[in-house]
Structure 1
Amino acid sequence: MNTTPTIRPARPHELRAVAELRWQWVLENEGTPVTTRAEFVRRLVAWAGEHASSHRCLVLVRDDAVIGMAWLAITQRVPSPRAPERAAGDVQCVYVVPDERDTGLGGRLIDAVLRLARDLGLERVTVHSSTRAVPAYTRHGFAPSPRLLQAEVGSRPGT
């Protein structure tokens, strides 16, 4: 059929496909997983259910097949006298299957996440991007910020 892909919130039965996409992303970008594929799929599906209020998953679907995903992590911020309700977002795990890349679908996912962030009233959205994807994020409104700093606090070899 090969219809035009649609973007929408992931449905519970699609989370297994989302987990498979995340598995594939890791294989393409980070090397060897530390768990089995089946265990990872089970854990991601359970995790998504437990974190549905703080992590929204959008899927890119063509003919009932999930061909892409993007997550928006929502963080509540400390209230301010000028804004008692505050939240920010972080784009995570944007992925489009290899056969569908370089057709603008990743950009459509980015735009959909930004629309969701606006609809939720978020103050800002950040992303920690791969080098390859920086131009795509820049085309869709992301820019470096001189005030957004980061410290790597994860375990490092030898520390």
Structure 2
Amino acid sequence: MPINRTDFTTHFVTWAEQNTSTHRCLVLTRDTTTTPIIGMAWLAILPRVPSPRALHRMSGDLQCVYVIPEARNTGLGGHLMDEILATARSLGLERVTVHSSPRAVPAYVRHGFEPSPRLLQSHMADHPKG
């Protein structure tokens, strides 16, 4: 059930404050007082199990690339993706994954993401507790 905007905003700000050690947020702004923030993207940084070849391993998950509707189709989403990938490289991440809607797959592919036959997932809603 959706919640109202005020409750969501309060929850989101609290969540962002609590997750600063595991997530990086990039924000696009413009010089205006009406809608200064026009886009954002989140990179979740995940530690991986050490291997004999690499004791310190990290990967990333690109989450929530968002551009306000009136600023879409202008390349801003692609700019966010490129900057997230640059951040991932600077952090030494092994890989960055993204879970995309079918509509957005071509945009991710244009910015360096590719389908992987080795990436599998299980939807928890399909597996009841027991």
Q: TM-score, normalised by structure 2?
A: 0.91
Confirm whether residue 71 of structure 1 aligns to residue 39 of structure 2: no
Confirm whether residue 95 of structure 1 aligns to residue 66 of structure 2: yes
SS at match of 1:154: helix
In structure 1, the partner of 2:24 is: 56
Q: TM-score, normalised by structure 1?
A: 0.75
Sequence identity (%)? 63
In structure 2, the partner of 1:124 is: 95
Q: How does 1:32-43 map to 2 (within 5 A)?
A: 33=2, 35-43=3-11
In structure 1, the partner of 2:111 is: 140
CA distance in 1, matches of 2:71, 2:101: 18
Query: Runs of 4+ in structure 1 displaced over 3 angstroms?
Result: none
CA distance in 1, matches of 2:105, 2:30: 25
Aligned pair partner of 2:75 in 70, 92, 104:
104
Confirm whether residue 45 of structure 1 aligns to residue 29 of structure 2: no
Specify the code of the residue in structure 2 equivalent to 1:93. Answer: C
Specify the code of the residue in structure 2 equivalent to 1:36. Answer: N
CA distance in 1, matches of 2:121, 2:78: 25
CA distance in 2, matches of 1:94, 1:116: 14
Deviation (angstroms), 1:156:
7.7
CA RMSD of aligned residues (A): 1.8
Specify the code of the residue in structure 1 equivalent to 2:25. Answer: C
Provide Cα deviations, 1:100-141, integer angstroms capped at 9, x if missing partner: 111111100000100010011100000001111111000001
Deviation (angstroms), 1:36:
2.3
SS at match of 2:79: helix
Deviation (angstroms), 1:154:
2.8
Provide Cα deviations, 1:72-99, integer angstroms capped at 9, x if missing partner: 0011000111111001000111010111
Aligned residues: 126
SS at match of 1:110: helix
